[in-house]
Amino acid sequence: MNIRCFPRKFSSALPPLVPLQLPSPMETHLWYILPNEVKSVALLNQYSELLSPCERENVNRMGGDQLKKRALLARALVRTTIARYQTNCQMNPRSLKFRKNIYGKPEIGIDVEGKQRKIKNDIIAFAQRYFSPCEVKLLTAISDSEIQRQEFIKLWTLKEAYVKALGKGFSAVPFKTFTIRFKASTIRCFHLPGNSVSEASEVIVESSDDPKNLPNNWQFALLEVAASHYVAICTEKDKIVGGEANRPMKLTVRKTIPFVEDVCVSGTDAVLVLGGIIEQ
């Protein structure tokens, strides 16, 4: 995406946004907002002011108040968070213009699903239709239907995150053509002393039919956030010249209410690492 910024005076209604330091290379920042924590109608109206007319129209098109609120918070979160990383000028989030272009390759993908989400179709039938044979086998082997459902959702988020990171769209990388699985971590990790490194199983992807795409370039994080949602993140691996070692994914997770508060939740109960080698 291209972003252009036009410095402008702030509206007097909202406090200025607290600026943020950009992540260092190969560092990932994850921000989330919990809709239930945003109750003030006045605040929601102020968020609405930040959106472009097009975005506001999209929000209004959503069916029902809960969906409208979610859509509004999502756009407000994007605008305010990006605005805070603009260190050159004091950014007004309202001034951001988003353009999509075909050249943008994300190199990072993310997907979120509610833990309690019910699957309407038969899980194995769904997996047989869309997942790889290896993944079907793994899911079929789970006898507890609740655990099977949870593992299905985790797998879905990981697969979505991978496809998004590749940036080619769902149809270019059909889910059936690659397998994502967990493998016990045998790699040595280097990390700064004092940081916590979770060494849950490593998450790896194997491509069935694309030799050009080297799945070893990608690393994953699978998290349980706020005890309610599974979050999968897929990023390119940091290539270390001449070294065998892999670095963990450097991740900082923050919960936020724009203009009100940020809470760094990395390393707390709010962020449970379920998969991937993560340094928080």
Partner 1 sequence: MASLTGVSLKLTPLSSSFKPTQVPFLGVSNVNSVSFPSLTMRPGSFRIRISCAAKPETVDKVCKIVRKQLALPADSSVTGESQFAALGADSLDTVEIVMGLEEEFGITLEEESAQSISTVQDAADLIEKLLEKKGA
- Min dist. Cβ of residue 258 to partner 1 (A): 22
Residue for token pair 């213009």: 97
Contact (CB, 8 A) for 50 and 79? yes
- Looking up tokens 């005076």 gives 9
**Using CA atoms, how far apart are residues 90 and 221, in angstroms rounded to an integer?**
33
Please say which residue, 27 or 113, places its beta carbon nearer to partner 1: 113
User: 47 or 156, CB closer to partner 1?
Assistant: 156
**Short-list 217, 257, 233, CA closest to 162:** 233
Least Cβ distance, residue 166 to partner 1 (angstroms): 14
**Least distance (Å) from partner 1 to the CB of residue 7?**
33
199 φ, ψ (degrees, to nearest 5): -110, 60
**Shortest gap between Cβ of 207 and partner 1 (angstroms)?**
16
Residues contributing to the site for partner 1 (CB under 8 A): 61-64, 67, 111, 113, 117, 119-121, 125-126, 129-130, 156, 160, 169-171, 174
Give the nearest distance from C-beta 71 to partner 1 in angstroms.
9
Helix (H, G, I), strand (E, B) or coil at 90: coil
Nearer to partner 1, 129 or 137 (CB): 129
Nearer to partner 1, 170 or 190 (CB): 170
Contact by Cβ (8 Å): 232, 160: yes
CB of 70 to partner 1, least distance (A): 8
CB of 109 to partner 1, least distance (A): 12
- For partner 1, give the closer residue by CB, 99 or 118: 118
- Minimum CB distance to partner 1, residue 117 (Å): 8
DSSP string, 44-59: HHHHHHHS-HHHHHHH
166 vs 265 by CB, closer to partner 1: 166
Question: Of the candidates 145, 260, 168, 154, which has an alpha carbon nearest to the alpha carbon of residue 203?
Answer: 154
Structure tokens at 31: 């921000």
- Strand ranges (DSSP E) for the chain? 2-4, 27-32, 97-99, 108-114, 178-183, 197-199, 202-207, 218-225, 229-236, 249-257, 261-264, 271-275, 277-279
Of 121 and 268, nearer to partner 1 (C-beta) is 121
Q: Is residue 3 classed as helix, strand or coil in its secondary structure? A: strand
Q: Pick between residue 111 and residue 224 the one whose CB is nearest to partner 1.
A: 111
Radius of gyration of the chain (CA): 20
For the record, the structure tokens of 213 come out as 């795409």
